């Protein structure tokens, strides 16, 4: 090994005792190395999590007791996002978009070292080793309980780790050691340089007077108070390759240490000098802490080891020093032997630290400097959708199954809120595209053509409501075994809606009468003789129900209601009922809607969009159409019980969020849960959620996941939203950090979204490839330019490919390119040999 010529590797070897591989140092001290994950996820705004980890580390120190060293090594390194594989076209584009993107990783190791008493000869002591092994188990238990996922490194892993430390290169493969050439300020290794920056300058201890488990951001108004790691600036160091933050605590004999301190105090107080008084005061404070709060005294040591290219290292080091300065720490510049500090950062080798490297303080204070953050990782699930983490690389999260399994949520339903233009539909497109990678059936009710691109991509069914082609459904057409209480409730609600309108009041008497009529209607139908067995004379009679539909129900009701009225002597306005419902009857304006059966293919199609913009302003039709679509969805759910399904309702839910339909909404949510489904309601209207009891009781109470887009527009009104959505202070901080971090460099255009599953939420980036952007975009000009290509080439993928190729070839900005296409109504370049052979098949929209 080349390095050996410069310095001796400080280990004798690795030995296995009591099932654990121990790293044996040249002085006989032995160490175990644990890989852990810092439990505070970066930008999780969880102040309490910093405190908890702080308490956990103190516990470990206490359990270890004197004679032990605790070393925490946080390795911050840069990686490149690898090219991932996918059979799916848009996912390939997504993967290509992120390939090679640099991101920061944090790997954390804890090394526990059993020291050999100074001056003593090393003797093999089986009992001591057994004790050590028990200590390790205790520490493991604490780390497991603290959700840090500790793993004890085995021989091969230890060997690799030491090589990685020696090379200051933490890539998993091909580590090569260069010659070390240390000088006063750094160590050179090939093109790179390594600098060790101790946090504490022993000649003149300059530390902030008080420290805490973490600090708060102060940069921007919206971010004020956002908790981050004390040393979170390490993530922002310019041009570094690797940073190792070496944190060591040595636990001395308490009695001896206190005694020494008291002695020192006495010595100092003899000489009246301001500097000495300070020292006396410090010692007093320390002794006070120890006495009053039973704190542990520890020797601590902190060094930042920085590796960068030689021409970059000065800038990086300056950044670190000034960041430390702004935290109240005067970093020691270069007073030390660089090689010595570097060696002491090797796992288990902090025993080489000299007296002057240590700083005596309380364990509480020392642990404040410990690094506590990690980067978010893919969730352990096989139902992942990908968004980016806040530094801009994809991570997989499970927004459906895993959080159900671990009881984070009790239903998969989601509520999406954000002002107009904040990216709700775009986010939904991205989610839906990924949901479709699984065995998912998708039904979307939209009022703004936000999903037409995705529908074309998936070759789905796009149903636009027009007066000529209304959406029809015959909800009365059911089989005998399908007639149950739920169906009856649905039909009562539907009749109430037809009669009273969404905002009307359906009195108890009226509801009971209608319910009674519905019951009689079906009983009558199912008990009457089948059509060809009917005696001649009966066929012409009024009471014969030839076919189940609204027409025959209407006729039956007008016969039955007066009968009930007379028997029961109750008020019921039959004339009003007859008159108002007539428009849905034979010859009426809306006759087809409830008399013609739904398109059969709706039950087998995987991807359906109902675009009902055309009835949005129609107070009569809008709620009815929405309701029947939801019923189609429920039928579909029963029909395809072995598949996942999602119902997405944009704005249209408003039409049915009325007291009259509250019961139905609850029923929908309950049924969705039963059939492996989820309902997602998307809205922009604040007024609609605040103060609407139906929304609160049915939609919000049954949506354990809420997704919020940029809420700054709602800032003044936030108290009201926060209380409706039960948003606490921690979550509020995360929400107001949406789109506020300085994390846009080197990334494509993106927007952030906050997703709260259960009680706790996280913020993710919605960043996609250009191909996906074009598919998801709701900008009219962009959509129509793409449709020009689609019309031309017939295949959506082909259209995307050529659109993107032409766009790049054009060297225009996207906006310019788009208006060029729209003005000329043809592709930018001539791809005539590739034109669609059948130009009669132009666009995605098939009106049904
Ligand atoms: N994550 C994103 N990345 C890139 N562009 C986005 C993103 N989200 C939204 N946009 C842009 O903003 C436009 C408006 O977004 P949209 O989702 O339609 O807003 P909303 O539905 O909230 O009104 C989109 O058409 C798109 O051009
Ligand atoms: Mg939208």
Tokens of 397: 């999260």
Cα–Cα distance for residue pair 421/444, rounded to 1 Å: 19
- In order of 286, 305, 535, the CA distances from 544 in angstroms are 96, 90, 11
In a domain, 275, yes or no: no
Compute the Cα dihedral for 387, 392, 396, 400 and give only its sign.
negative
> Could you tell me the end-to-end alpha-carbon distance of the chain, in angstroms, rounded to an integer?
75
Whether 475 and 631 have beta carbons less than 8 Å apart is answered as yes
Cα(197) to centroid(ligand 1), Å: 45
Ligand 1 mutation target, pool 387, 426, 613, most atoms within 8 A of CB: 426
CB of 777 within 6 A of ligand 1: the answer is: yes
Residue whose C-alpha is closest to residue 397's, from 765, 776, 768, 773: 765
Strand pairing class (30-36; 151-152):
antiparallel
Domain shared by 393 and 432, yes or no: yes
Whether 545 and 521 have beta carbons less than 8 Å apart is answered as yes
DSSP letters of 169-217? ---SS---PPPEEE-SS-EEETTEEEEEEES--GGG----SS--SSEE-
In a domain, 317, yes or no: yes
CB of 761 within 6 A of ligand 1: the answer is: no
Instruction: Classify residue 84 by its DSSP letter.
Output: P
Cα–Cα distance for residue pair 725/710, rounded to 1 Å: 15
> Cα–Cα–Cα angle for 409, 414, 419, nearest 5°?
135
Which atom of ligand 1 is found nearest the CA of 778? 25
Cα(825) to centroid(ligand 1), Å: 24
CATH number of the domain bearing residue 610? 3.40.50.300
Domain shared by 559 and 685, yes or no: no
Domain shared by 465 and 493, yes or no: no
- In order of 169, 314, 617, 813, the CA distances from 193 in angstroms are 12, 10, 68, 42
Cα(801) to centroid(ligand 2), Å: 25
CB of 750 within 6 A of ligand 1: the answer is: yes
In a domain, 168, yes or no: yes
Q: Which among 314, 347, 374 is the end of a domain?
A: 374
In a domain, 281, yes or no: no
The total domain count for the chain is 4
In a domain, 282, yes or no: no
Domain shared by 815 and 723, yes or no: no
Q: Strand, coil or helix: what is 563?
A: helix
Residue whose C-alpha is closest to residue 249's, from 108, 109, 60, 106: 60
Q: Strand, coil or helix: what is 496?
A: helix
- In order of 421, 692, 717, the CA distances from 687 in angstroms are 17, 8, 10
Cα–Cα distance for residue pair 674/457, rounded to 1 Å: 30
Q: Which among 322, 343, 374 is the end of a domain?
A: 374
- Backbone torsions φ then ψ of 65, nearest 5 degrees: 75, -175
Ligand 1 mutation target, pool 94, 421, 649, 748, most atoms within 8 A of CB: 421
Q: Which residue segment(s) compose the domain that 802 sits in?
A: 779-834
Cα(783) to centroid(ligand 1), Å: 13
Q: Whose CA is nearest to atom 16 of ligand 1?
A: 423
Residue whose C-alpha is closest to residue 644's, from 399, 414, 416, 438: 438
Residue whose C-alpha is closest to residue 297's, from 250, 341, 265, 330: 250
Cα–Cα distance for residue pair 721/718, rounded to 1 Å: 5
3-state secondary structure 105-138: EEEEEEEEEECCCCCCCCCCCHHHHHHHHHHHHH
In a domain, 347, yes or no: yes
Domain shared by 721 and 579, yes or no: no
CB of 674 within 6 A of ligand 1: the answer is: no
Cα–Cα distance for residue pair 337/183, rounded to 1 Å: 8
Q: Whose CA is nearest to atom 14 of ligand 1?
A: 421
pLDDT value of position 486: 83
Instruction: Classify residue 20 by its DSSP letter.
Output: E
> Cα–Cα–Cα angle for 646, 457, 812, nearest 5°?
125
pLDDT value of position 498: 94
Tokens of 725: 């959505």
Residue whose C-alpha is closest to residue 528's, from 540, 516, 543: 543
pLDDT value of position 298: 93
Whether 362 and 292 have beta carbons less than 8 Å apart is answered as no
Domain shared by 157 and 179, yes or no: yes
In a domain, 268, yes or no: no
Strand pairing class (705-708; 414-417):
parallel
Cα(754) to centroid(ligand 2), Å: 17
Q: Whose CA is nearest to atom 2 of ligand 1?
A: 750
CA 186 to chain centre: 41
Domain shared by 553 and 700, yes or no: no
Considering every ligand atom shown, identify the ligand nearest to the alpha carbon of residue 447 and give its number. 2
Contacts of 666 (CB under 8 A, 6+ apart): 697, 698, 702
Strand pairing class (20-25; 102-114):
unpaired
Q: pLDDT averaged over consecutive 10-residue blocks of the chain (848 residues)?
A: 59 90 92 97 91 96 92 96 95 98 96 81 75 94 96 96 94 79 88 91 64 86 88 95 97 90 81 67 82 87 96 96 89 73 94 88 93 95 97 97 96 95 97 97 94 96 87 89 88 93 90 95 88 55 83 95 93 95 94 87 90 88 88 85 92 82 86 92 83 85 95 86 91 93 93 97 97 97 95 94 96 96 93 56 38
HSE toward the beta carbon, residue 627, CA cutoff 13 A:
32
CB of 749 within 6 A of ligand 1: the answer is: yes
Residue whose C-alpha is closest to residue 299's, from 362, 343, 351: 362
Residue whose C-alpha is closest to residue 668's, from 625, 725, 615, 627: 627
CB of 424 within 6 A of ligand 1: the answer is: yes
Query: For the whole model, what pTM was predicted?
Result: 0.89
CB of 778 within 6 A of ligand 1: the answer is: yes
Cα(311) to centroid(ligand 2), Å: 49
- Tell me how crowded residue 69 is: count the other CB atoms within 10 A of its CB: 23
Domain shared by 466 and 521, yes or no: no
Tokens 């010529």 -> residue: 5
What are 576's strand-pairing partners? none
Strand pairing class (677-683; 414-417):
parallel
Q: Which among 374, 403, 434 is the end of a domain?
A: 374
DSSP letters of 335-396? -S-HHHHHHHTSTT-GGG--GGG-EEEEHHHHHHTS--EE-----S-SS-EEEE-TTS-EEE
CB of 421 within 6 A of ligand 1: the answer is: yes
pLDDT value of position 845: 40
Tokens of 9: 């590797």
- In order of 42, 95, 243, 347, the CA distances from 105 in angstroms are 11, 19, 10, 19
CB of 426 within 6 A of ligand 1: the answer is: yes
Tokens of 417: 């809120």
CB of 387 within 6 A of ligand 1: the answer is: no
Domain shared by 695 and 719, yes or no: yes
Domain shared by 549 and 414, yes or no: no
Domain shared by 461 and 497, yes or no: no
Which atom of ligand 1 is found nearest the CA of 768? 3
In a domain, 846, yes or no: no
What are 25's strand-pairing partners? 11
Domain shared by 635 and 733, yes or no: yes
Q: Which residues of 122-158 are buried (b: 16+ CB within 10 A; e: fewer)?
A: eeeeeeebeebeebbeebbebbeebebebebbeeeeb
């Amino acid at each position: 090994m080349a390095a050996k010529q410069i310095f001796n590797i400080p280990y004798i070897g690795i030995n296995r005792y009591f099932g654990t591989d121990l790293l044996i140092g040249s002085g006989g001290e032995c160490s175990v190395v644990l890989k852990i994950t810092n439990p505070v996820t970066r930008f999780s705004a969880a102040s309490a999590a910093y405190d908890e980890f702080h308490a956990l580390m103190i516990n470990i120190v206490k359990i270890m007791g004197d004679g032990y060293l605790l070393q925490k090594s946080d390795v911050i390194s840069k990686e490149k996002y690898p090219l991932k594989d996918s059979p799916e076209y848009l996912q390939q584009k997504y993967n290509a978009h992120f390939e090679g993107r640099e991101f920061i990783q944090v790997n954390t190791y804890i090394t526990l070292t059993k020291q050999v008493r100074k001056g003593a000869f090393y003797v093999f002591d089986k009992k001591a080793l057994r004790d050590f092994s028990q200590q390790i188990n205790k520490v493991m238990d604490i780390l497991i309980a603290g959700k840090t996922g500790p793993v004890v490194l085995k021989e091969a892993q230890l060997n690799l780790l030491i090589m990685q430390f020696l090379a200051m290169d933490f890539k998993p493969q091909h580590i090569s050691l260069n010659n070390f050439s240390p000088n006063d300020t750094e160590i050179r290794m090939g093109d790179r340089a390594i600098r060790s920056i101790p946090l504490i300058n022993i000649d003149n201890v300059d530390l902030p007077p008080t420290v805490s488990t973490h600090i708060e951001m102060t940069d921007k108004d919206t971010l004020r108070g956002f908790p981050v790691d004390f040393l979170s600036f390490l993530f922002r160091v310019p041009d570094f390759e690797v940073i190792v933050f070496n944190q060591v605590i040595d636990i001395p004999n308490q009695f001896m240490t206190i005694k020494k301190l008291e002695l020192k105090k006495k010595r100092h107080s003899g000489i009246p000098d301001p500097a000495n008084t300070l020292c006396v005061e410090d010692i007093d404070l320390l002794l006070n802490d120890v006495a009053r709060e039973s704190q542990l005294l520890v020797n601590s040591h902190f060094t930042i080891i920085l590796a960068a290219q030689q021409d970059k290292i000065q800038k990086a080091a300056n950044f670190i020093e000034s960041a430390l300065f702004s935290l109240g720490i005067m970093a020691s510049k270069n007073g030390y032997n660089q090689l010595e500090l570097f060696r002491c950062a090797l796992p288990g080798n902090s025993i080489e630290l000299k007296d002057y490297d240590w700083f005596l303080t309380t364990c509480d204070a020392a642990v404040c400097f410990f690094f506590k953050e990690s980067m978010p990782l893919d969730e352990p699930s096989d139902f992942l959708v990908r968004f980016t983490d806040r530094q801009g690389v994809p991570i997989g999260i499970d927004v459906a199954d895993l959080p159900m399994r671990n009881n984070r949520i009790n239903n998969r339903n989601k509520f999406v809120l954000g002002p107009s233009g904040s990216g709700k539909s775009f986010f939904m497109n991205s989610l839906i595209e990924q949901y479709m990678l699984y065995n998912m059936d998708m039904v979307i009710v939209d009022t703004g053509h936000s999903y037409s691109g995705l529908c074309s991509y998936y070759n789905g069914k796009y149903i636009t409501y027009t007066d000529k082609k209304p959406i029809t459904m015959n909800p009365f057409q059911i089989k005998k075994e399908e007639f149950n209480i739920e169906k009856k409730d649905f039909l009562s609600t539907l009749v109430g809606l037809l009669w009273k309108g969404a905002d009307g009041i359906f009195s108890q008497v009226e509801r009971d009468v209608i319910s009674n009529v519905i019951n009689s209607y079906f009983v009558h139908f199912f008990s009457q003789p089948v059509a060809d067995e009917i005696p001649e004379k009966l066929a012409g009679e009024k009471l014969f129900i030839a076919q189940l539909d609204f027409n025959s129900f209407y006729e039956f009701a007008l016969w039955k209601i007066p009968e009930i009225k007379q028997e029961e002597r109750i008020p019921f306005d039959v004339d009003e009922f007859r008159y108002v419902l007539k428009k849905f009857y034979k010859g009426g304006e809306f006759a087809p809607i409830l008399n013609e059966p739904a398109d059969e293919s709706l039950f087998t199609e995987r991807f359906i969009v109902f675009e009902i913009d055309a009835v949005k302003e129609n107070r009569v039709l809008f709620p009815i159409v929405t309701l029947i679509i939801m019923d189609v969805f429920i039928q579909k759910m029963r029909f395809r019980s072995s598949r996942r399904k999602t119902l997405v309702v944009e704005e249209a839910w408003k039409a049915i969020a009325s007291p009259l339909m509250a019961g139905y909404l609850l029923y929908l949510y309950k049924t969705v849960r039963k059939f492996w489904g989820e309902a997602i309601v998307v809205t922009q209207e604040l007024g609609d959620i605040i103060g609407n009891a139906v929304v609160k009781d049915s939609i919000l109470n049954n949506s354990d996941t809420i997704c919020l887009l940029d809420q700054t527009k709602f800032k003044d009104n936030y108290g009201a939203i926060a209380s409706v959505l039960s948003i606490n202070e921690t979550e509020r901080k995360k929400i107001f950090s949406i789109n506020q971090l300085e994390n846009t460099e080197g990334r494509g255009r993106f927007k952030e979204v906050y997703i709260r599953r259960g009680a706790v939420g996280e913020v993710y980036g919605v960043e996609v490839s250009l191909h996906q952007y074009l598919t998801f975009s709701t900008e009219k000009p962009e959509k129509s330019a793409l449709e020009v290509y689609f019309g031309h080439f017939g295949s959506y993928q082909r259209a995307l490919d050529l659109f993107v190729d032409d766009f790049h070839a054009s060297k225009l900005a996207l906006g310019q390119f788009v208006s060029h296409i729209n003005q000329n109504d043809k592709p930018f370049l001539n791809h005539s040999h590739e034109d669609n052979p059948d130009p009669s098949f132009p666009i995605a929209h098939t009106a049904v």
